[in-house]
Amino acid sequence: MPYLSPALNVMTSAARKAGRKLIRDFGEVENLQISLKGPADFVSVADKRTERILIEELQRARPGYPILSEEAGLLDGPDKSHRFIIDPLDGTTNFLHGIPHFAISIALEREGQLVSGVIYNPISDDLFIAERHHGAYLNDTRLRVAARKQLNTCLSATGIPFLGRGTPDDQERFLTELRAVIEATPGIRRFGSAALDLAWVAAGRYDAFWEHGLKPWDIAAGILMVREAQGVATDLNGGERMLESGDILVANEQLHPQLLKLLKSAGRQASSAAPAT
């Protein structure tokens, strides 16, 4: 059985409570796809409603903790040693289109260290949890990253720059990276939820995941999840600034340095090919 600290128990309870409402909202979105009403507006309401439930539950149990959330921003609190980082709906585009691949993500920092994480897909009832020094779990099953050692056996996940996000240079860098990984590996997936991508690396479903320009609430819980599943998580310089830079690479100990080298080389190639300004 997984170890549930009091804080992690609060986080899982909040995720499940918010998830029940999100399941009902998802059913409504599926109905709206064939109507003339605005599904995008409804999803925005569902996102904010889920956030409100999470904030209410977390503040009730830990009233002094600050909360950093996608929609509400930073809600300050007197306890400066702790901080919740939450994403009420990671995979909004999937949700909007009736695709049942999205998640609630909650992380807890203590003294700047990620100590607890929850990633919950309410549709599949997949509850991923992690506690620092106590491992990562999917429901009651202990997680380990996959053991593959060679890039030519590696299944990776990534995120693709989309409308309104990133510059032409960012897009060119991504395409150069994508080309490099395509040439070195047998498969790449883009499922549209960074939180679940990270959880799936922890579960050994993917061998690796990389992306640029993410936000702390997209990746905080997943970073801990991968590390507690004995994986490696760094930024794309091999450092620890994932939450600050929004750039991330996760994999096992054997694949991570190979992919990091590959992606760095692709980044340099993209930079040298960029027109001078």
Least Cα distance to 209 among 174, 169, 259 occurs for 259
Contact 246, 237 (CB under 8 A): no
- What CATH homologous superfamily does 6-142 map to? Fructose-1,6-Bisphosphatase, subunit A, domain 1 (3.30.540.10)
pLDDT of 276 strictly over 60: no
- Give the tens place of pLDDT for each residue, 131-186: 999 999 999 899 999 999 999 999 999 998 776 566 777 788 889 999 999 999 99
pLDDT value of residue 152: 96
pLDDT exceeds 90 at position 273: no
The pLDDT of residue 114 is above 90:
yes
Residue 37: per-residue pLDDT:
42
Per residue in 188-244, pLDDT (tens digit) is 999 999 999 999 999 999 999 999 999 999 999 999 999 999 999 999 999 999 999
In the chain, DSSP assigns E strands to: 67-69, 73-75, 82-90, 103-110, 113-121, 126-131, 135-138, 141-142, 155-158, 187-189, 208-211, 232-234, 248-251
Ranges of CATH 3.30.540.10 domains, the chain:
6-142
Q: How confident is the model at residue 36 (pLDDT cuts 50, 70, 90)?
A: very low
In tens, the pLDDT along 254-272 reads 999 999 999 999 988 877 7
Mean pLDDT value of segment 3-19? 95
Question: Does pLDDT of 33 surpass 90?
Answer: no
The pLDDT of residue 101: 97
**Is residue 100 over pLDDT 50?**
yes
**What pTM does this model have?**
0.93
| pLDDT for the residue numbered 28 | 80
Looking at domain 151-271, which CATH architecture does it have? 3-Layer(aba) Sandwich (3.40)
| Region(s) of the chain under CATH 3.40.190.80 | 151-271
The mean predicted confidence, pLDDT, of the chain is 91
